[in-house]
Amino acid sequence: MLYNEPSPLEVKILTRRFGLENSQSLDTYLATDGFAGFRKALDMTPDQVIDEVKASNLRGRGGAGFPAGMKWGFVPRDSPKPKYIVVNADEGEPGTCKDRVLMENDPHQLIEGMLIAARAVGAQAGYIYIRGEYRYIIDIMDRAIAEEYERGYLGRNILGSGMDFDVYTHTGAGSYECGEESALLESLEGKRGQPRIRPPFPAVAGAFQCPTVLNNVETFCAVPAIFRDGAAAFADLGPPRNGGTRLFALSGHINKPGVYELPMGFNLLRMIQEVGGGIRGGGKLKAVIPGGSSCPVLRAEECDLSMDFDSVAKAGSMLGSGGVIVMDETTDMVKLAVRIMQFYQHESCGWCVPCREGTLWLEKVLTRVDNGGGRPSDINLIDELARNMLGRTFCPLGDAAAMPTISLVQKFRDEFEERLPKSVPAGDPRLVVVG
Amino acid sequence: MTFSTALEAKFEKLLNSYPPGRKRAALIPMLLFAQDEVGAITGEVVNEIAGRLEITPLQIDEVVTYYSMLHREPRGKHNIQVCTNVSCLLVGGAELLEHAERKLGIRRGESTADGQFSLEEVECMGACSWAPALQVNYDFHHFVSPEKLDRLIDGLRKAH
Ligand SMILES: Cc1cc2nc3c(=O)[nH]c(=O)nc-3n(C[C@H](O)[C@H](O)[C@H](O)COP(=O)(O)O)c2cc1C
Ligand code: FES
């Protein structure tokens, strides 16, 4: 089902079957070039498959934007261990809701992407790790998998090629941290979602300590088109080093929030105005979080920006998971900072001290500032605590909590200062009551 | 303890989904699916699954306390989970949760005396572009206004 009207500005590569009758069925999939990419991949050597993905400039859609072909190339194909494909369908980054529609509307595209990855690295089984809240998606994927077994697209000797591949769904049970790749792999083994120390990376020791390709849903979903239409066609959709399209999830204060597939590098202001229908109620844009709540906030004047990994990084933020959170001038940035920190505090797995204690302390200080009970030194304290978390945790959840916080204090400091009690002049150290 | 045949079939499929010697991998799906049927992760459920997976009840406790969807106490028959994370917050998620508290006469984290409803404040559920959003058990509801919530709750009340 589609939950928002498509936009005429969309470039439909991954979403091309959205809205077709029975878009979940294998028949619809096959009637619309389904498995054309996989058939081509079957005629290629594993190295050629990996090179094709490299040439497409496909970068990971889960957050970090790591080149997918390069990641596949790290898998030691001569290892005697079994190799696995793992799909990250945990989709927990606030502001992000695109993997859900990709699986709901075109489940076979995801499986074809997994098959091509399996062909590239010699994997014999794959797991789709789906967040527990997406129960109906598990049913959709299970039906799609069953259909493919029946028709010979999964199982033994697939399409007479001699290749074997099994796919299983696996459910999470409510944990943002389990979207982090190494915590996900722990969770897949039936344990608490605590990150693993890397190296070794999943390519070498992933699922069940075996070589593993782990990518986001959208990353795998882009793969069939790369083989069907050619790597060059895919790369050409976006600016250099940023191939293809992206499913942007627009949310917040806009007239037409929704998930839209746009070419990589689409201008952010245009996205808000022309795709999202502009700010609701004719209001004025104040700020945007461009890639899910872990990303530094951009002020309105920073939003004339090409939405690709490199340009957004240059602007001091991240393209992240493609969750574009739009805020108008009524937005209370202190409240926003509090809510963001509550989330990371709640989701911190508690394994490493800077993250567990840092998020808790930050939540307390931010909350007291918001409630009007802040101390003049609190604003610098927030900044310092957040900076002290950066890069000092086993997994990037600490960074994810710190980065938006640092940017909010830096860019909207006046709003934090206004919230301090008026009787104590902000910044006068003699008046600070210690305790 | 016994489970329905549908659940047993799910368990059997799960136990065939992982490499040899990796039975424990089935733990989290088994717990969640068992909870859906039984209503909570009771001591009996823990012991049963521990036996089947050949792990200790303590190893299961460690997992149950980690995952926010797993719980020891039953929720209401209709568990209303309101998202108040950023995208929902910006368009009224927090007010929606307060409205739900008034409408149901309970606070977040509580259940109604008749066991029909429980209310939870939850984190992002992957419906940000169609916010504010909530789930009743596993069913998503998008663009939920206070009026829409009233109608939803009234409808669920009438259904029994
Ligand atoms: C705290 C945390 C949560 C994450 N959650 C997700 C998630 O829900 N989905 C996802 O695909 N990646 C998530 N990631 C990123 C993964 O660790 C990993 O980089 C990604 O799945 C790799 O796939 P890609 O290269 O295709 O992007 C998360 C990372 C962190 C640090
Ligand atoms: S923020 Fe509410 S569903 Fe994502």
ipTM rounded to 2 decimals: 0.97
Q: Is a pLDDT exceeding 90 seen at residue A43?
A: yes
Whether residues A72 and A47 fall in one domain: yes
Whether residues A390 and A266 fall in one domain: no
- Provide φ and ψ at A249, rounded to 5°: -100, 105
Whether residues A321 and A338 fall in one domain: no
When pLDDT is cut at 50, 70 and 90, the band that residue A435 belongs to is: very low
Task: Measure CB to CB from residue A173 to each of B32, B84, B131 and give the nearest one.
Answer: B32
Let me know if residue B36 belongs to a domain. Answer: yes
Residue A167 domain boundaries:
26-235
pLDDT of residue B158: 87
Please compute Rg for chain A using Cα positions.
Answer: 23
pTM: 0.96
Average pLDDT, chain A: 96
Tell me if A215 CB under 6 Å of ligand 1: yes
**Nearest-Cα residue of chain B relative to residue A186:** B25
When pLDDT is cut at 50, 70 and 90, the band that residue A65 belongs to is: very high
Average pLDDT, chain B: 97
Whether residues A375 and A275 fall in one domain: no
Q: Is a pLDDT exceeding 70 seen at residue A100?
A: yes
Whether residues A129 and A150 fall in one domain: yes
CA atoms within 13 A on the CB side of B38: 23
Å from A431 to nearest chain B CA? 35
Whether residues B61 and B115 fall in one domain: no
pLDDT in tens, B115-156: 999 999 999 999 999 999 999 999 999 999 999 999 999 999
Let me know if residue A427 belongs to a domain. Answer: no
Identify the domain boundary among A176, A203, A235: A235
Let me know if residue A361 belongs to a domain. Answer: yes
Let me know: does A73 contact A58? Beta carbons within 8 Å: no
User: How many domains are contained in chain B?
Assistant: 2
Amino acid occupying residue A92: G
Q: Is a pLDDT exceeding 50 seen at residue A2?
A: yes
pLDDT of residue B59: 97
When pLDDT is cut at 50, 70 and 90, the band that residue B159 belongs to is: confident
For residue A140, the surrounding DSSP H or E stretch is helix A135-150
User: Measured between alpha carbons, how far is A98 from A14 in angstroms, rounded to an integer?
Assistant: 11
User: How many domains are contained in chain A?
Assistant: 3
Residue B17 domain boundaries:
5-66
Whether residues B58 and B129 fall in one domain: no
Identify the domain boundary among B13, B35, B66: B66
pLDDT in tens, A390-429: 999 999 999 999 999 999 999 999 999 999 998 655 555 5
CA distances for B9 relative to A365, B55, B117, B138, angstroms: 50, 21, 30, 21
Whether residues B62 and B85 fall in one domain: no
CATH for A272:
3.10.20.600
pLDDT in tens, A268-309: 999 999 999 999 999 999 999 999 999 999 999 999 999 999
When pLDDT is cut at 50, 70 and 90, the band that residue A434 belongs to is: very low
Bridge-based pairing of strands A298-299 and A285-289 is: antiparallel
Whether residues A50 and A195 fall in one domain: yes
Bridge-based pairing of strands B139-141 and B134-136 is: antiparallel
Q: At what angle do helices A217-229 and A107-121 cross, to 10 degrees?
A: 80
Could you tell me the two tokens for A276?
């999202």
Q: Is a pLDDT exceeding 60 seen at residue A433?
A: no
Let me know if residue B101 belongs to a domain. Answer: yes
Tell me if A61 CB under 6 Å of ligand 1: yes
Å from A189 to nearest chain B CA? 4
Whether residues B12 and B41 fall in one domain: yes
Let me know if residue A13 belongs to a domain. Answer: no
- Mean pLDDT for the stretch of residues A184-202: 96
- Residue B19 contacts A where some CB pair is shorter than 8 Å: yes
Spell out a b/e string for A228-256, using b for 16 or more CB atoms within 10 Å of the CB, else e: bbbbeebbebbbeebbbbbbbbbbbbbeb
Q: Is a pLDDT exceeding 80 seen at residue A185?
A: yes
Task: Using the mean position of ligand 2's atoms as its centre, give its distance from the Cα of residue A92 in Å.
Answer: 9
pLDDT in tens, A166-183: 999 999 999 999 999 999
User: Measured between alpha carbons, how far is A250 from A11 in angstroms, rounded to an integer?
Assistant: 16
Residue pointed to by tokens 């006469």 = B105
Q: Which residues line ligand 2 (CB under 6 A)?
A: A 94; B 83, 85-88, 124-128, 131, 133
Could you tell me the two tokens for A303?
């939003």
Let me know: does A358 contact A426? Beta carbons within 8 Å: no
Whether residues B150 and B87 fall in one domain: yes
User: Measured between alpha carbons, how far is A194 from A185 in angstroms, rounded to an integer?
Assistant: 9
Identify the domain boundary among A312, A328, A344: A328
Let me know if residue A192 belongs to a domain. Answer: yes
pLDDT in tens, A310-355: 999 999 999 999 999 999 999 999 999 999 999 999 999 999 999 9
Whether residues A212 and A85 fall in one domain: yes
Amino acid occupying residue A113: G
Whether residues A156 and A259 fall in one domain: no
Let me know if residue A311 belongs to a domain. Answer: yes
Could you tell me the two tokens for B35?
């909870």
Could you tell me the two tokens for A69?
């072909």
pLDDT of residue A431: 52
